[in-house]
Structure 1
Amino acid sequence: MTVAQQEKRPRKAGFLLSRLGLAVDALEHLVGGLGTAMLALAALFWTAVVAVLSVLGVGVFLIPSALQVTRAIADRERARLTRWGPDVIGAEPLADGRWQALRDPAVRRELSWLLLHATFGFAIGLLGLGLPLYAVQSLSFPLWFELLPPGSTGPGVSFWRIDGIGDALVVGLTGLGWFFVTIAINPVLARLQARPGRRLLAPSAEVDLSLRVSQLSSSRAAALDAHAVELRRIERSLHDGAQNRLVAVNVFLGAARRALARDPATADAVLAQAQDAAELALAELRTVARGILPPVLADRGLAGALAGLAAGSGVPCELEVEIAGRCPASVEAAAYFVVAEALTNVAKHSAATSVAGTVRRERDQLVIVIEDDGRGGADERRGSGLTGIRRRVEAFDGSLTLTSPAGGPTVLRVELPCGS
């Protein structure tokens, strides 16, 4: 086997595993969407009943209840979509009057979404859930086909009469086909199911623009704060480290000049001390430079740099990095410092015995997840370094989510925009 063939095999295995992971995520999305679609179907039925009664004149007073039910289910869908992707901002509170509420564009968009999700979303959810169930049914058919009456047909092949294990194995092979269809189709179905919600439940262009301006103002403030903190850190490092070393060099050089005039025999020892101080100053300057932008990122890339962090972690660390190509240098530097600070926090505060992490690129986001098995209870307000991580992340208009119940585990999830 050639070297190229040996390299191609792990790539194929990695591709299949990534596709399988996408299919599992998509199944979770579809099941969640199916749940909200069932609620939407019930709300659609109630809305239709209220509409019919309103024509008769007795359902007008029930209009606010139908709108409140619709809003509650729409908010549930917004929360679901936000968990799996970009935030879907909620609408303004419903107006007091029923006719004013019906004239609200957000309410009309929610009613349109209700109709689509209760029908189109429900059908897609059933299909997405049925495909893997169908695959499992067919794949396991050789294990239970003997329970069927003689002359029965297999699932999905009604024209195929099952007369023995050979026929059952053929049905099992069709299950393998359904399995690959599920892997290929379910991510597409999940996106189709979510599309109406992302288009109709998002705020209007005017509201979205004002929210975006507010978010950018907040991000700009966070970036300025992070920049100021970084400048103070560099200034403190230079003042406490390299500057003191250089002062020592100056003192030793002055002593050496005086020694040459008074006692030349001692000048060599003083010059040796000055050289040692100069070497320490250079080491301090290299440390400061690495703190600004680690050279290992340019030399080995983000994957290699993070592998070095994991190897040097004070707590045993398993870190998986799945990044195709390079991200912008500023994003890679931010990701490097996020992982470094997170591992330092684990070693200092968590009392963990192991830590696991993943760094992968999902479309235009670099996603970092660090999980430890420590005691939990991490709190940004206690100065554990999490505030610095959040500031660095928000400076890139990213997001940070921390889950740390008492007793653990602690899970840190960071998303950084890294371009399409």
Structure 2
Amino acid sequence: MAPRPSTLRLTGHALAQVALAVPTILAATLVAVGGGTALLVIGIPVLLVGLPLLRWIADRHRAMAAATLGHPVPADRLPDDDLPLLARLATWGRDPMSWRELAWAFVSASVGLAVSLVVVLLMVGIVTLVLWWYATPQLMRLRSVADARLLSRGSHELLEERVQVLTETRAETVEDSAAELRRIERDLHDGAQARLVALQMNLGLARELMESDPGAARELLAEASTTTGAALGDIRDVVRGIHPPVLADRGLAGAVQALALDLSVPVTVTGELPERPSAPVETAVYFAVLECLANVAKHAGAEHAWVELGQHDDLLVVVVGDDGRGGADPSGGTGLRGVARRLAALDGSVRVSSPAGGPTLVTLEVPCESSSPRTTPSSATG
């Protein structure tokens, strides 16, 4: 647990909060006016000034509250990186944290300002120094608790959001599983099953011709041998689509290196995994990387791609990048959406940064628990 800040430091926080009171009122006014006139277009430039200013001020208060309380006060805003202007404004508008920060601004500039002023004024008078020394930690903690409650989502909201996410990911996982079963059934029916039926017919004919026409029987047996090999190949392809043998044998890093060798674009694989993730995590991340590299080969027009593997505490992080034309849009196709659904079932996430002209970076993050210690040395495949 972080040590509690001193009374002097808390007083410094109070002085900063007093100094930020006027900018807070200004930012909140700009946001309110800009939001009310955004449909008239004239409010958009006002919002573009007011909302970033309000967010910056709120983040300063989050930092002070976190230092006072000894625990983080996260913003939990909706991501808006690399979004076009109108999409960013729409994201700000539907982000609950934007409304929380606006409400906080008026509370901070009134009740919060009063608390901070009391702390500052108690320090000014010689008679009130003792009261300042003992009252400041309590007053600043009271203000910090209020700031933290308004500037971060409560446990009830987080629980509701978690239930909603689990409901959606469960439905998507069931749908994906049903589609995968249909694909396996189709592949077996059209591939291995058809070849095995032909094999059975050839063997039956060969048995009938064994005495009357041994030469024709031998040709049928040779054809049956070829059909057997093709059927085994079809079955191996189906099994590889469920859980690639290279993933079981060599782990995630080795399997990704194998993918890199097969890609038409040169791919560099780097990174180190101190422990081997669990099988579900390995499988999900493997197929996510496979989809990302397939997109590079098909759409990016890249000369080079790279995959960076890393593990930070209990978080597996994989970055797939390329130097292609950029402009990748997760909402424009099913590939990246499928990757996001696959990882969401494991509480994972996908972030895409792909400005026009590149580079494109797809960051995959999945909470992981190790299945067995296994150190994979850094390597490069290109």
Q: TM-score range by the shorter chain?
A: 0.5 to 0.7
Distance in 2, matches of 1:199 and 1:247, equals 68
User: 1:93 is aligned with what amino acid?
Assistant: W
Distance in 2, matches of 1:361 and 1:63, equals 40
Tell me by how many angstroms 1:398 deviates: 1.1
Unaligned runs of 5+ in 2: 1-12, 33-49, 63-73, 80-94, 117-145, 371-382
User: 2:216 is aligned with what amino acid?
Assistant: T
Give secondary structure in 2 for the equivalent of 1:216: helix
Tell me by how many angstroms 1:261 deviates: 6.0
Q: Relative to 1, partners in 2 of residues 1:200 and 1:368: Cα closer, same or farther, differing over 3 Å?
A: farther
1:296 to 214, 237, 246: 246
Tell me by how many angstroms 1:202 deviates: 2.5
Distance in 2, matches of 1:270 and 1:223, equals 45
Q: Does 1:208 align with 2:182?
A: no
Tell me by how many angstroms 1:91 deviates: 4.0
Q: Which residue of 1 aligns with 2:322?
A: 372
Q: Does the Cα contact within 8 Å between 2:196 and 2:227 map onto a contact in 1?
A: yes
Q: Relative to 1, partners in 2 of residues 1:336 and 1:63: Cα closer, same or farther, differing over 3 Å?
A: closer
User: 2:201 is aligned with what amino acid?
Assistant: V
Give secondary structure in 1 for the equivalent of 2:276: coil
1:44-71, Cα deviation, whole Å (9 max, x unpaired): 4243899xxxxxxxxxx99975998896
Distance in 1, matches of 2:347 and 2:256, equals 22
1:390 to 316, 319, 340: 340
Tell me by how many angstroms 1:75 deviates: 6.8
Q: Which residue of 2 aligns with 1:408?
A: 358
Give secondary structure in 2 for the equivalent of 1:345: helix
User: 2:152 is aligned with what amino acid?
Assistant: A
Q: Does 1:351 align with 2:325?
A: no
Distance in 2, matches of 1:257 and 1:275, equals 14
Distance in 2, matches of 1:49 and 1:389, equals 43
1:310 to 214, 235, 260: 260
Distance in 1, matches of 2:155 and 2:214, equals 81
Tell me by how many angstroms 1:331 deviates: 0.3
1:217 to 160, 167, 181: 167
Q: Which residue of 2 aligns with 1:255?
A: 205
Give secondary structure in 1 for the equivalent of 2:365: strand
Q: Which residue of 2 aligns with 1:283?
A: 233
Q: Relative to 1, partners in 2 of residues 1:266 and 1:311: Cα closer, same or farther, differing over 3 Å?
A: same
Tell me by how many angstroms 1:406 deviates: 2.6
User: 1:74 is aligned with what amino acid?
Assistant: A
Distance in 1, matches of 2:280 and 2:190, equals 27
Distance in 2, matches of 1:236 and 1:281, equals 14
Give secondary structure in 2 for the equivalent of 1:324: strand
Q: Which residue of 2 aligns with 1:93?
A: 99
1:47 to 13, 17, 21: 21
Tell me by how many angstroms 1:317 deviates: 0.7
Counting only pairs closer than 5 Å after superposition, residues 220-235 of structure 1 correspond to structure 2 as 220-235=170-185
Q: Which residue of 1 aligns with 2:58?
A: 74
1:2-29, Cα deviation, whole Å (9 max, x unpaired): xxxxxxxxxxxxxxxxxxxxxxxxxxxx
Tell me by how many angstroms 1:332 deviates: 0.7
Q: Does 1:269 align with 2:219?
A: yes
Q: Which residue of 1 aligns with 2:86?
A: none
Distance in 2, matches of 1:310 and 1:44, equals 57
Distance in 1, matches of 2:23 and 2:330, equals 50
Distance in 2, matches of 1:63 and 1:360, equals 40
Q: CA RMSD in A?
A: 4.2
1:319 to 260, 263, 269: 269
Q: Does 1:335 align with 2:285?
A: yes
Q: Does the Cα contact within 8 Å between 1:367 and 1:415 map onto a contact in 2?
A: yes
TM-score by length of 2: 0.62
Tell me by how many angstroms 1:287 deviates: 1.5
TM-score by length of 1: 0.57
Tell me by how many angstroms 1:244 deviates: 2.1
Tell me by how many angstroms 1:246 deviates: 1.4
Distance in 2, matches of 1:345 and 1:40, equals 52
Counting only pairs closer than 5 Å after superposition, residues 94-173 of structure 1 correspond to structure 2 as 102=107
Distance in 2, matches of 1:214 and 1:413, equals 23
User: 1:376 is aligned with what amino acid?
Assistant: G
User: 1:238 is aligned with what amino acid?
Assistant: L
Distance in 1, matches of 2:280 and 2:147, equals 33
1:327-360, Cα deviation, whole Å (9 max, x unpaired): 1111011111111221122112211110012111
Give secondary structure in 2 for the equivalent of 1:326: strand
Distance in 1, matches of 2:178 and 2:184, equals 10
When structure 1 is superposed on structure 2, of 407-416 and 295-304 the one drifting more is 295-304
Q: Does the Cα contact within 8 Å between 1:90 and 1:202 map onto a contact in 2?
A: no
Tell me by how many angstroms 1:201 deviates: 3.3
Q: Relative to 1, partners in 2 of residues 1:260 and 1:79: Cα closer, same or farther, differing over 3 Å?
A: same
Q: Does the Cα contact within 8 Å between 2:192 and 2:231 map onto a contact in 1?
A: yes
Q: Relative to 1, partners in 2 of residues 1:411 and 1:95: Cα closer, same or farther, differing over 3 Å?
A: closer
Give secondary structure in 2 for the equivalent of 1:376: coil
Q: Which residue of 2 aligns with 1:239?
A: 189
Q: Which residue of 1 aligns with 2:126?
A: none
1:392-420, Cα deviation, whole Å (9 max, x unpaired): 12222211111222322211111111138
Unaligned runs of 5+ in 1: 1-38, 51-60, 84-88, 116-195
Identity %: 43
